[in-house]
Amino acid sequence: MPDDPNTENAPLDTEDWQIAFEAYEGHPSEALQLAINLTILASHIGVEPRMIDEAMAALALAVEVLFPYTQFHGVCHDMYLKVVGGKLTLEEEEVLKKMGLKF
């Protein structure tokens, strides 16, 4: 991922969320629980500003819990964190592509 200010930390749009949540199709209870969890996080950030640290910790935990479900589980945890954080160098991106990983 290049260091481009136009793409780094770009806002999520509807398509991003649809892709992320495709796995919930046919799992309405789990989708509802995720919606509840996201709403709680939003309230920590928006309604309870003093709880931003708790919200950030919860999001960091969510990223960690997702790790075993990704194609990076068999490769490298540090590389996974670089990918989800948008901090891959061009060289690292090329190596991962050569390994057949899609991101």
pLDDT along the chain (103 residues), means of 10: 50 84 90 88 78 86 86 80 88 88 77
Same domain, 64 and 82: no
Q: Is residue 3 part of a domain?
A: no
Res 39: pLDDT: 85
Report field, pTM of the whole predicted structure over 0.75: no
Res 26: pLDDT: 92
Res 8: pLDDT: 59
DSSP state of 33: H
Q: Is residue 4 part of a domain?
A: no
Same domain, 30 and 64: yes
Q: Which two tokens stand for residue 43?
A: 């309230």
- Quote the domain boundaries for residue 98: 71-103
Same domain, 35 and 63: yes
Treating both helix axes as pointing N-terminal to C-terminal, what angle do 28-46 and 52-66 enclose, rounded to 10 degrees?
Answer: 150
Nearest to 93 by CA among 79, 75, 78: 79
- 70's CB contacts (< 8 A; 6+ apart) are 80
Same domain, 96 and 77: yes
- 30's CB contacts (< 8 A; 6+ apart) are 24
Res 89: pLDDT: 92
Q: Is residue 80 part of a domain?
A: yes
Q: What gap in Å lies between CA 16 and CA 64, rounded to an integer?
A: 20
Q: What gap in Å lies between CA 9 and CA 57, rounded to an integer?
A: 19
Same domain, 56 and 75: no
Q: Which residue is associated with the tokens 């592509």?
A: 97
Same domain, 62 and 31: yes
